[in-house]
Amino acid sequence: MALHIHQNSHSSCRELNLKLVHKHGPCSPLFNGELANYTQFLLEDSARAKWIRSQFSGTNTANDLKGSAVSVKAQYGPGGGSYLVTIGLGTPKKDLTLLFDTGSALTWTQCEPCVVSCYKQTEAIFDPSQSSSYANISCSSPSCRQLPSGTGMIINYTSISRPYRCIDSTCVYDQRYGDRESFTIGFFATETLTLSPTDVISSFKFGCGQNNGGKFKGFAGLLGLARDRISLVEQSATKYGRSFSYCLPPSISSTGYLTFGKGSVKSASVSFTPISTVSRSPIFYGIDIIGISVGGKPLSIPSTVFSNAGTIIDSGTTITQLPPTAYSALRSAFRQAMTKYKMSTPASPLDTCYDLSGSTMVTVPVITFSFKGPIDINLDPSGVLFPVDPSKVCLAFASSSDDTNLSIYGNIQQRSFEVVYDVAGGRIGFGAKGCS
């Protein structure tokens, strides 16, 4: 199959319902004219993958935080290749651009008066005093007791000098992320959430951040779609039936979409695989890989390689992370199929790179992932190679350190597919050419 090499441009931006855009692409409301820094993508992506794996190994570096009221087991660090959606919050509605994330449960945004600190964001910071529908959640509310599972909080009674998660009887959330720098702390509250002019959710529970910082920049917060009671998926269950779908565009200079409800599926044909629950961190969406093929030829990978620790699908990890045995087989077959192209220096963690200077098109072998079902998913050409610079691309997969490590099915491999999360039905589907 052929992959055209594109430069960033504005021409492919188009309006879709609940438009989904790449954080660093020209269609983003945060775009400042700077070219995307792919090296930074990879650094942030590696940090996120490392943190996700720490949750499954039992390692919890966040417990080293000194002087905090609680110790926090967070889900990850901010990813480099994340996608954004714009929603409305409050009455009257204020538009906010949030990172959309299937690996986080809590939806939050920075809030005035930023009692301690707020990082720099592009839009005006949400001011709850200007909304007639805002209300803090009390510590005695059952909703307050739902916070630990949604934010990964663990009570450390030896460091608490006041009632847990409370300030003057108001419920407080504390979410810290795996890079050990990024965090958001504030009031757990309810507000009117507007997804479209006809899709409004009253009394939506979210985090109103009064102390936020770290590596966050530009966007106003995060939209949580993980498997937990405080996620948007569960809070909108009566309206949308625990079902949503998205399509990540084939390039960062085009747009995709995020939709909710079973009637929202756009692809003509969708193949489904069961959702599996991965131990230790049940908020993630697990799927079961049973094989990989390159150019139609199945790779010789023992089935236990994927069943050892399992696999999650993640909207915020860019590069798919595979156990060493699986990655080695994939790399070998891919290199063999690409011998006519000149190899280039690695771009850590990517070790199979090619110099395409002077090329406008490259032919790559079809890579097929087989999931439990069984179903076979042929990756889009845009989901095979990662552009490091205008003349250099790399195989968009990386190896973990051990075959017992969790696998992560990243967002670059999801590009151009409609990915359907039928959470109520316990299954995830893939529909080819889903963005068109």
HEC-encoded secondary structure of the chain: CEEECCCCCCCCCCCCCCEEEECCCCCCCCCCCCCCCHHHHHHHHHHHHHHHHHHHHCCCHHHHCCCCCCEECCCCCCCCCCEEEEEEECCCCEEEEEEEECCCCCCEEEECCCCCECCCECCCCECHHHCCCCEECECCCHHHHHHHHHHCEECCHHHCCCCCCEECCEEEEEEECCCCCCEEEEEEEEEEEEEECCEEEEEEEEEEEEEEECCCCECCEEEECCCCCCCHHHHCHHHHCCEEEEECCCCCCCCEEEEECHHHCCCCCCEEEECECCCCCCCCEEECEEEEEECCEECCCCCHHHHCCCEEECCCCCCEEECHHHHHHHHHHHHHHCCCCCEECCECCECCEEECCCCCEEECCCEEEEECCCEEEECCHHHCEEEEECCEEEECEEECCCCCCCEEECCCCCCCCEEEEECCCCEEEEECCCCC
**Active site includes 101?**
yes
Give me the catalytic one of 101, 174, 179, 228.
Answer: 101
Which of 45, 228, 288, 314 is catalytic? The answer is: 314
403 is catalytic: no
Active site residues: 101, 314
